[in-house]
Structure 1
Amino acid sequence: MSAARNRALTPTELDRFGEELDALRARTVATVGERDARYIRRIIAAVRYTEVAARTLLFASALLGGLLAAGQAWAWLFWPTWILGALLLGGAKILENMELGHNVIHGQYDWMGDPQINGRTYEWDIVATSENWRHTHNFRHHTYTNIRGLDDDIGYGLLRIFPEQKWKPFYLVQPLVAIVFALYFQWGVAIQDLKLGRWWHGKMTGAQLRRKARPVLRKMSRQLIKDYLVFPALAGPFFLPVLLGNLVANGMRNVWTYVIIFCGHFTADAETFPKECIKNESRGHWYLRQLRGSSNIGGGRWMNVMSGNLSHQIEHHFYPDIPANRYAEMAVEVREVCARYGQHYNTGSLPRQFGQVAWRILRHAFPSRARIKVPLVLPEPEPAPEAA
């Protein structure tokens, strides 16, 4: 457990810890430029051309499906064409969601002055509005990372993942709830900021809920019409393969996003914190909280790209507005800084990290007690007495 691997820091050490990480940020920001612009433009092109190729294959599979129904011998190509189209479309949706949308909405490319990738106006290809995401994710989650009662991402109001969360009988079914949540993850993200629990307990009126829900319902309607009406309709009487291809692609994106996000903060070594910890929180203290509440995933370049570089969740929480393609190189120095100050740098393979998440979901469905943790900060040592 991380508690056994972390050393509590004195206020002076904590200040130095923060200064070193701030210095890394300053050096990186000074070099951001054309290299990063080329990278994000390649990502935009990859999303666009992969989606075009995927939808072309799905339309082709729809036509082949008609031939298959007519008994044409070479219509066996229907299945490989449809599978490839669905997989490519899922890949395009993952790339747009993770490496493009998530990072653009953080404002990582606002310095380019390109309205196409402006963090305040970008709208991504999921049922959730980017405006709600900027509040629930960019503000609340990144400001109050893993603080109980302030970070709504801790279990998303559905799951008990840490022993510090109060147990309720409902959590006994959370292994099943977790599977359903993974399959419909974009819908959970869409309604997260509506605070349905407040309405359910009478703390929000129906009129207030309707006002908050209007933009969300409009976005949901647009996405449903695009994926399950417009594109299938273009295939005419062979609409079904296209509709099912879109359904599979959205499901792929939901499950993959769920896995990556849950690995980022809910592994065995990730910690949660009480509200009191942010009182007079220093810069170094903030960095330390982000470190102890976050987890990385190993896997190399493809893992980095397809996770939106959330494989470097620690670096992302340290520097959310720096272009994410820089995180891999920054991670080398971040790891060195953590080692110098006796702090555990939480990383592991995807199977290892998600296995820990799955175990948490299963274990904390039942009553459990909070663990003892190493404090974040120690008092300064008393000066040695002067010799007589």
Structure 2
Amino acid sequence: MHTLTRPQVDEFQAELDAIRAGVMNSLGQADVDHIRKMIALCRASEVGGRALLHFGVGPLSWIAGVLALAHAKILDNMEIGHNVMHGQYDWTGDPALNSQTFEWDIACDGEAWRHSHNVTHHTYTNILGKDRDLGYSLLRMTPEQKWKPRHWLQPLANLMLALGFQYGVGSHDLELGRYKHGAVPKPVFKERLNRFLSKVGKQWFKDYLLFPALALWSAPRVLAGNFAANLIRNLWTYVVIFCGHFTEHVAIYRQEDCLNETRGDWYLRQLAGSSNLTGGRWFHILTGHLSHQIEHHLFPDMPAHRYVEIAPQVQALCRKYGLRYNTGSLFRQYLTVMKRILVNTLPPKTAAA
């Protein structure tokens, strides 16, 4: 939490607004070229990966095929799908980059994600009882969440979520807990469930039936390769997302903390509720530039590849106002995520002891 005065909060807001305006007023061909290059690279990587799986011989070509296909799926999920569906390229007028119609290659339906992520998560970031991304309704991430006996299994639940992360994200908008308590009408729940199952069915048909069938005698090789590529994408996405939201110093808020919140207050909550990862250009691309989760939470509709450009400015503002800018290596940040998960596995009295 911060100790800024109201005039300082307003000044902080104005300076961040100026950073945003500087980028948004300069959008142009270079930004279009970036996303189209990523789409072309994704398609080429998928074609190459599937060709290696279908026609390759021996374990080395299988491994190369898996890695190429996983690379394509990660690009599609992170740098392309996530960012396009945030509306980062709506200004281009290109139907292929329209946030409301774009669909990606994971089990999560685009419409459901736009609601659970764009609307709910980015509005109520890290607010208990409002942001359902906080532990994905499975994990206890703060002592202020009520401990239940099922939390003894939290490390196992975390592992299962990581392995099947696309399904955790895909089922998120079902709001199973709220439905169980009658807060989601049955017709609404059924419509969401049908949409989720339909998307899962399409993904399974493509990866586990169609492409293996096309491979004829190589069907087992292709089936295993598709499964491995999906698993790699799930694990990578899980690690990046968790390192951006649940590291040691990420703040979690109560609803009463956020009453009468101004845009400046919202900026401060996004800053305190996020963490970054250090790395090189391709590391940032493969994270969908969510290695700059702070900048993404501040400016979710800004083309993500521009976060690298503004990060030093945001960090300088944090120094100016005495605010924490949470950043570190993937390894160090994930260690603090696991510490948080393990500490909150324990009942309150045990944890305090």
Task: Give the 3-state SS of the residue equivalent to 1:321 in structure 2.
Answer: coil
Instruction: Name the counterpart of 1:216.
Output: 196
Q: Distance in 2 between matches of 1:86 and 1:114?
A: 31
Structure 2 gaps of 5+ residues are none
Find 1:258's aligned residue among 218, 232, 238.
Answer: 238
1:369-384 residue pairs with structure 2 within 5 A? none
Deviation track 1:4-31 (CA, whole Å, cap 9, x = no partner) reads xxx5100000000000000111111111
Query: Quick one: higher RCO (CA 8 Å, sep 6+), 1 or 2?
Result: 1
The match for 2:125 is: 145
The answer for the alignment partner of 1:337 in structure 2 is 317
Task: For residues 299-339 of structure 1, give each alpha carbon's deviation from its aligned partner in whole angstroms, at most 9, with x where no partner exists.
Answer: 12121100000000000011111100100110010000111
Which residue in 1 is equivalent to 2:343?
A: 363
Partner residue, 1:50: 45
Matches within 5 A, 1:186-335: 186-204=166-184, 206-335=186-315
2:77 maps to which residue? 97
For 2:304, the aligned partner's letter is: A
- The 5-angstrom pairing of residues 99-138 of structure 1 reads 99-138=79-118
When the two structures are superposed, what TM-score results if normalisation uses the length of structure 2? 0.96
**Cα drift, residue 277 of structure 1:** 2.5
Within 2, Cα distance between the matches of 1:345 and 1:189?
27
Q: Structure 1, unaligned stretches of length 5 or more? A: 65-77, 372-388
Matching residue's letter, 2:123: T
Give 1:207 deviation, angstroms.
4.5
Judged with a 3 Å threshold, the aligned counterparts in structure 2 of structure 1 residues 28 and 208 are, in CA distance, closer, same or farther, namely closer
* 1:350 equivalent in alignment to 2:345: no
Pick one of 26, 35, 59 that aligns with 1:40. Answer: 35
Taking the aligned partners of 1:281 and 1:208, their CA distance within structure 2 comes to 30
How much has 1:205 moved relative to structure 2?
Answer: 5.8
Give the number of the structure whose alpha-carbon radius of gyration is greater: 1
SS of the equivalent of 1:134 reads helix
Identity percentage of aligned residues: 52
The amino acid across from 1:216 in the alignment is F
Secondary structure at the counterpart of residue 40 of structure 1: helix
Give 2:22's aligned residue: 27
- The Cα shift of 1:208 comes to 4.2
Distance in 2 between residues matched to 1:204 and 1:305, nearest whole Å: 37
The two structures, once aligned, show a CA RMSD in angstroms of 1.4
**What amino acid does structure 1 have at the position aligned with 2:251?**
E
Q: Secondary structure at the match of 1:223?
A: helix
Shift of 1:237: 2.3
Quote the offset at 1:99 in angstroms.
Answer: 0.2
TM-score (norm 1): 0.88
Does 1:17 pair with 2:12? yes
